[in-house]
Structure 1
């Protein structure tokens, strides 16, 4: 997770009409409809934050209806006691799906991909062997990729937006480390179309939000562009319809969305 980048808060709501109107009047909602289905998942987070984007992208890939409950970062509502009862670490996102409350974005996307396996693309693999490969690269993203991606985004994108000075040394070291990780990716992607094989999975999906900011907002597109196979992979996964829909939603600040 990226606590400094996207701390959350809870906006109390229920599934009634009054809640729907209140949410719409506030900072927006995200609604998907599948026939006559009701919205089944609530995502507590901010549209622009990396980890909530992982979850929303997964839901869009699966065509699962959901509501985004906006998180107010600036007023630190993620530290309120009522929020900490749901997410004790004060981070986003967490979801409510029926009786289930779940936090940590990578755990959430695993859950959603398994629960809605019969919808949209298969994101977890079809066999134990395929699932193991997906899990392997999910771990790589969390352990080897994100620890360098986060300080880059935080120092070169988030802090400047807040009018605060970046730690250039920290950012520079992270760029060097991430470049080395991407060299490993280049070798892998010379053998397979996607990280875990020849189909798009969670292993690829989890990389997109942070990498998007690195490429588009941190002036570091060369990290991908100078690697033939990484560049082709990046263009492929960011060209997916679900990601394009999410990008459009993020640009609007999380107002309204219709599939």
Structure 2
């Protein structure tokens, strides 16, 4: 494969985060083009032109174009097996075990995780209330899955065996969001092997680089160009890109007023506090969870805190 690659996606998207983690684990040089999911024209122009299903993550390496984040991750783990972190086994039996856990994540772990993230992260971001019935069912489903994981992780430190593989990596984006939600974090804490495994893989340097990429992507009141990633993994804004002699495609400044959620993102980015409100309703608690989640994503060591 070529040494120069490009990834189109959104750094808050689970799929894009999965591919970014894989690229960083394998020390692959790449350009990242941030797609604004709210900019339908741009998303359609770029994403659908490359991916017939219009998904957020599209990977290019020379003339090859891939979509579907797990397919991209699998490709990278084999194409760059001897570069950076080796994530495949030469022994077929061991590779078969690792591969089976990639499928387990896709078919069993991801469905309840996606429901919880949609209800407790995405809906509050849009000012919508969470459906508590959906949350309750998803929590029960996730708990049952984690019981299986707990049993597996009593046999080996990692899902695919004794070394970090794509079977572990593929879980990182969902773990990142779930561990920021109190109702979900307790599920992990009550299963010691799952909790130890989660903390171990979330602390990997490659994953920390992915989380760092999210920080500069705040909506500004004046509007900026879309962020693009340099080959060293540093996100570039329109202004800094121009000063560095790099091309960053401009987008129009927003014409709608900032929402409360936009303002919250800006406050957190400036290390300013936002008061936790009294949770008299589902909507209020969803707002509190959103704030706590944003604080965790951008500052996992906890130096930013909501007012009690």
Please state how far the C-alpha of 1:183 moved relative to its aligned partner.
0.6
Please state how far the C-alpha of 1:93 moved relative to its aligned partner.
0.4
Select the residue among 229, 236, 239 that pairs with 2:203: 239
Look up the match of 2:66: 102
Look up the match of 1:194: 158
- Residue 174 (str. 1) matches residue 145 (str. 2): no
- Residue 121 (str. 1) matches residue 85 (str. 2): yes
Please state how far the C-alpha of 1:130 moved relative to its aligned partner.
1.6
Look up the match of 2:191: 227
Task: List runs of 5+ in structure 1 lacking aligned partners.
Answer: 1-37
SS of the residue corresponding to residue 145 of structure 1 reads helix
Distance 1:161 1:39, change over 3 A: farther
SS of the residue corresponding to residue 72 of structure 2 reads helix
Please state how far the C-alpha of 1:206 moved relative to its aligned partner.
0.5
The total of aligned residue pairs comes to 222
> Using the alignment, how far apart are the partners of 1:43 and 1:175 within structure 2?
33
> Using the alignment, how far apart are the partners of 1:79 and 1:56 within structure 2?
19
Select the residue among 63, 71, 75 that pairs with 2:35: 71
Select the residue among 129, 136, 150 that pairs with 2:100: 136
Select the residue among 50, 56, 81 that pairs with 1:86: 50
TM superposition score normalised by structure 1: 0.81
- Residue 154 (str. 1) matches residue 118 (str. 2): yes
Please state how far the C-alpha of 1:250 moved relative to its aligned partner.
1.8
Q: Is the 8 A contact 1:57 1:242 kept in 2?
A: yes
Deviation larger for 216-225 or 48-57: 216-225
> Using the alignment, how far apart are the partners of 1:195 and 1:201 within structure 2?
8
Look up the match of 1:53: 17
Aligned Cα RMSD in Å?
Answer: 1.8
Please state how far the C-alpha of 1:125 moved relative to its aligned partner.
1.8
Task: List runs of 5+ in structure 2 lacking aligned partners.
Answer: 218-226, 234-308
Look up the match of 2:273: none
Look up the match of 2:266: none
Quick one: higher RCO (CA 8 Å, sep 6+), 1 or 2?
1
Q: Is the 8 A contact 1:78 1:91 kept in 2?
A: no
SS of the residue corresponding to residue 44 of structure 1 reads strand
TM superposition score normalised by structure 2: 0.68
> Using the alignment, how far apart are the partners of 2:21 and 2:105 within structure 1?
16
SS of the residue corresponding to residue 54 of structure 2 reads coil
Select the residue among 107, 111, 132 that pairs with 2:75: 111
Q: Is the 8 A contact 2:57 2:68 kept in 1?
A: yes
Look up the match of 1:203: 167
Larger radius of gyration: 2
Please state how far the C-alpha of 1:166 moved relative to its aligned partner.
1.7
Please state how far the C-alpha of 1:252 moved relative to its aligned partner.
2.6
